[in-house]
Amino acid sequence: MADVAVLGAGSWGTTFAKTLADGGADTVLWARRPEAAREIDESRRNTRYLPGITLPASLHATSDIRAALEGASQVYLAVPSQQLRQLLREHGDAIEAGAPVVSLMKGVEAGTRLRMSEVIAQELRIDPERIAVVSGPNLALEIAQEQPTAAVVSSTSPTTARDVAKRARNDYFHSFINTDVIGTEFGGVLKNLVALAIGIVDGVGYGENTKASIITRGLAELTDFAVAHGAERETLRGLAGLGDLIATCGSPLSRNFTAGRLLGMGYSRTDVIARMEQVAEGLASVDPVAELAAARGVRMPILEQVRLVLDGAMDPRDIAPHLTTDDEPIEE
């Protein structure tokens, strides 16, 4: 039995499992593919997603999800957001009673337009105080290389947030806490959409001025959206908002930046998905976030232009002027 279980052995799930193990937790990582679980368990490697990284001896892996969950005092979820509900529906009953359930995901469920913490609460029928979310400037490979960084652990229960933060902490990874789950989650979701836009203009060939303009306007856009849904404005100025935005928009390690870059180079949405090694959550979040924005009357010009490019209704070369200007009249 493990102290903690991590479900999902992609780059982020494996990295976070390493982070927990390096912090002293006996950790079991669930991998969907048996061969991936064997490699992690026997060779201390996940060469597909974290090449060159040696995993700690206190991290074990299995392809048996129920074995991974057995006895785990905390459960961390790092699966693609659109697959979460089905996973919980099939195996949620194996989660130990009272164990905190922690979302490492940054997406919105298509159809329901629910955040991941809301999907967890709805599907497991548990008190939201048992649920936490983790977000921040967390590019997986850099953390796996033990480069120092920080994150936010958020829960409506300060006790749950503290308990998770104590586990998710070591010499190179520091966890802060807050109780603004809405702001923390939406910060992680919305920065992916801005990263898509940055990737698009990078793929087209525009430079740093264009990117800086989009990041600045993007921060204003995502803040307005999150606050309209009940978030605290201050959260979006911290690690879960601005910090995550800077890291995701400025690095080729970012899946969403990479996906956007391919769009800017002329690939279709279908082609981009086929070429990606891992899921770029922003691609699936564009439509539900646009629907949420429309329902609250929040203007999101950057999101709308990205949506047009994804739908093939706008040439990526025409996107930059729309992303860096505001259609509102200028007051004299």
Give the residue numbers annotated as catalytic, written as ranges. Answer: 191
Residue pair 264/238 in contact (Cβ under 8 Å)? The answer is no
Residue 9, marked binder: yes
SS3 content of the chain, % helix, strand, coil (to 5): 55, 10, 35
Do the strands 74-77 and 4-7 form a parallel or antiparallel pair, or are they unpaired?
A: parallel
191 known member of a binding site: yes
Q: 18: annotated binding-site residue?
A: no
Q: Is 10 annotated as a binding residue?
A: yes
The contacts of residue 273 (CB under 8 Å, 6+ apart) are: 283
Q: Is 332 exposed, middle or buried (0-12, 13-18, 19+ CB in 10 A)?
A: exposed
Contacts 24+ apart (CB under 8 A), 30-33: 30/5, 30/6, 30/61, 30/62, 30/63, 30/64, 30/65, 30/68, 30/69, 31/61, 31/62, 31/63, 32/8, 32/63, 33/9, 33/63
13 is in an annotated binding site: yes
* Contact by Cβ (8 Å): 190, 222: yes
279 is annotated as contributing to ligand binding: yes
Q: For residue 277, count other CB atoms closer than 10 A to its CB.
A: 11
4: which strand partners? 27, 74
What's the CA gap between 219 and 223, in Å, rounded? 6
29: helix, strand or coil = strand
Phi-psi label, residue 61: left if phi above 0, alpha if psi -120 to 50, beta otherwise: beta
Q: Binding residue per annotation — 49?
A: yes
Q: Is 255 annotated as a binding residue?
A: yes
Which regions of the chain does DSSP assign to beta strands (E)? Answer: 4-7, 27-30, 59-62, 74-77, 101-103, 131-135, 149-154, 173-178
| Residue 244 annotated as binding site | yes
Q: Is 140 assigned a ligand-binding role in the annotation?
A: yes
Which residue ranges make up the annotated binding site for NAD(+)?
8-13, 140, 255
The annotated binding site for NADPH is made up of: 11-12, 32-33, 49, 106, 140, 255, 279, 281
> Known binding site: residues?
8-13, 32-33, 49, 106, 136, 140, 191, 244, 254-256, 279, 281
Q: State the binding site for sn-glycerol 3-phosphate.
A: 106, 136, 191, 244, 254-256
Give the residue ranges of the annotated binding site for substrate.
Answer: 106, 255-256
